[in-house]
Every structure is written in structure tokens, then in C-alpha cells.
């Protein structure tokens, strides 16, 4: 961030009075431009014993498989965002929606929230997907998953499914995530 979105003057980085960390502050109008983590919301869609995955038609990780997810928009709830992303990527509606996973990813300033829900009706191929498919556990393309977080959510899900209990958990990124690409604004 270099220029003020209010008045277009240059910004400087400084700790405002009463604060304890550097912020971008406008040199002209004194507006403080706070930067805070962004929320990515998604939905693990199940259909009986199968899970729905989308093959990405966009970068990053074009051609790799993922769970419907994306940045939360202003004016919507996390749940609404997850269902919107599911509709946009897979033309799918879900029912019995429940909160499932929260991941803090402080090194990229993001929070991921995943719901899970059962497919209600059919599905299609949204504009951000090349292909949408239901997979049995043994057919999951583990080496072609788009993001480590997808691997984590699916691994947790198949593990939880053995006991038929799906507790909400807060997770941290595993070391495997290191420099792996996550969602970016396209
Ligand atoms: Zn300004």
C-alpha cells in the first residue's frame, strides 16, 4: 500500500499514538489504513459416501482439485459465503450445513473456515472449474490436490467419518504448508 485511498497522498508507515504496531498512515489526511486478516470460506460437499471436488480453471494451481472455497464478500455471513462459493464453483446446493474446520494461517494473514454439507440435488461446472466430480475415498487424487489445506480437510473428514463424529476443530497449518500457494485475489 503506497497511496491513500481517501485522498491519494503518499502513505508512511508509523505506529499511531495509542497503538502498538506499524500502520500505513496518510501524510495528508491522517487516515490510518488498517490491514487485517482475510477470511476464506468454503464447504466440503458430501453425497453419501462420496465427496465433491472441483478441478480449478484459474490460477493459482490451475488443473488441480480443490474444495469449493473463496474470499468472503462484504455483506454476507461465512455460511452464506461458503454456499455462494459452492454454487459458483460447482452449481451445487447443499443441505444439513454444519461448521467443520477453522484454520488460522498467520504467516499469510488468512483465516479459513470450512463447513460441510450434503449435496441437495445435482451439480454442474461453474466458470472457475474445468471439471466437477464426486469421489469415493479410494479415488481421491491426493497428488493432484490444489492446496495443502484441502489435503488436511479431506484427511480429517475421512478420519472423522470412521467414528461418524465431526467435531469442530481449530487447526494450525502443518509444516508441509510452508511456502505452498494459498488462495489469492485473481
Ligand atoms: Zn489521505
Within the chain, all domains assigned CATH 2.20.70.10 are found at 1-35
Tens digit of each residue's pLDDT, the chain (186 residues) = 899 999 999 999 999 999 999 999 999 999 999 999 999 999 999 999 999 999 999 999 999 999 999 999 999 999 999 999 999 999 999 999 999 999 998 888 999 999 999 999 999 999 999 999 999 999 999 999 999 999 999 999 999 999 999 999 998 776 666 555 555 543
How much is the pLDDT for 186?
39
- State which fold the 38-185 domain adopts: Nucleoside Triphosphate Pyrophosphohydrolase (3.90.79)
Write 77-82 long-range contacts (CB < 8 A, 24+): 78/39, 78/41, 78/113, 78/115, 79/41, 79/115, 81/39, 81/41, 82/41, 82/42, 82/43, 82/113, 82/114, 82/115
Q: In what order do the strands lie in the sheet with 32-33?
A: 11-14, 23-26, 32-33
Backbone φ, ψ for residue 145 (5° rounding): -80, 145
Predicted confidence at residue 1, as pLDDT, reads 85
Residue 26 Cα, ligand 1 centroid: separation in angstroms? 5
Per-residue pLDDT at 183: 53
pLDDT at residue 107, rounded to an integer = 85
C-alpha 124 to ligand 1 mean position (Å): 46
Cα Rg of the chain, angstroms: 19
* Span from the CA of 17 to the centroid of ligand 1 (angstroms): 17
**Global confidence as pTM:** 0.87
CA 162 – ligand 1 centroid, Å: 56
For residue 22, the CA-to-ligand 1 centroid distance in Å is: 17
Which residues, other chains included, contact 58 with Cβ-Cβ below 8 Å and sequence gap of 6+?
A: 128, 186
At 176 the pLDDT is: 61
CATH 3.90.79.10 domain position(s) in the chain: 38-185
Residues around the ion ligand 1 (C-beta < 5 A) = 4, 6-7, 9, 26, 28-29, 31
Q: How far is the CA of 27 from the centre of ligand 1 (A)?
A: 7
Q: Which residues of 32-69 are buried (b: 16+ CB within 10 A; e: fewer)?
A: eeeeeeeebbbbbbbeeeebbbbbbeeeebeebbbbbb
CATH classification (class only), 1-35: mainly beta
Amino acid at each position: 500500500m503506497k497511496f491513500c485511498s481517501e485522498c491519494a497522498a503518499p502513505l508512511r508507515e508509523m505506529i499511531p499514538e495509542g497503538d502498538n504496531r506499524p500502520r500505513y498512515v496518510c501524510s495528508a489526511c491522517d487516515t490510518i489504513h488498517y490491514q487485517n486478516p482475510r477470511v476464506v470460506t468454503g464447504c466440503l460437499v458430501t453425497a453419501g459416501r462420496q465427496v465433491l471436488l472441483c478441478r480449478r480453471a484459474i490460477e493459482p494451481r490451475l488443473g488441480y482439485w480443490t474444495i469449493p472455497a473463496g474470499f468472503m464478500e462484504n455483506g454476507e455471513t461465512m455460511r452464506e459465503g461458503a454456499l455462494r462459493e459452492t454454487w459458483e464453483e460447482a452449481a451445487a446446493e447443499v443441505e444439513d450445513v454444519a461448521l467443520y474446520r477453522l484454520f488460522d494461517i498467520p504467516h499469510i494473514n488468512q483465516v479459513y473456515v470450512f463447513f460441510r454439507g450434503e449435496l441437495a440435488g445435482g451439480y454442474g461446472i461453474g466458470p472457475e472449474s474445468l471439471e466437477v466430480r464426486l469421489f469415493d475415498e479410494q479415488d481421491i487424487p491426493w497428488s493432484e490436490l490444489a492446496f495443502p489445506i484441502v489435503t488436511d480437510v479431506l484427511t480429517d473428514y475421512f478420519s472423522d467419518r470412521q467414528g461418524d463424529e465431526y467435531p469442530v476443530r481449530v487447526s494450525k497449518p502443518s509444516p508441509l504448508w510452508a511456502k505452498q500457494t494459498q488462495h489469492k485475489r485473481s
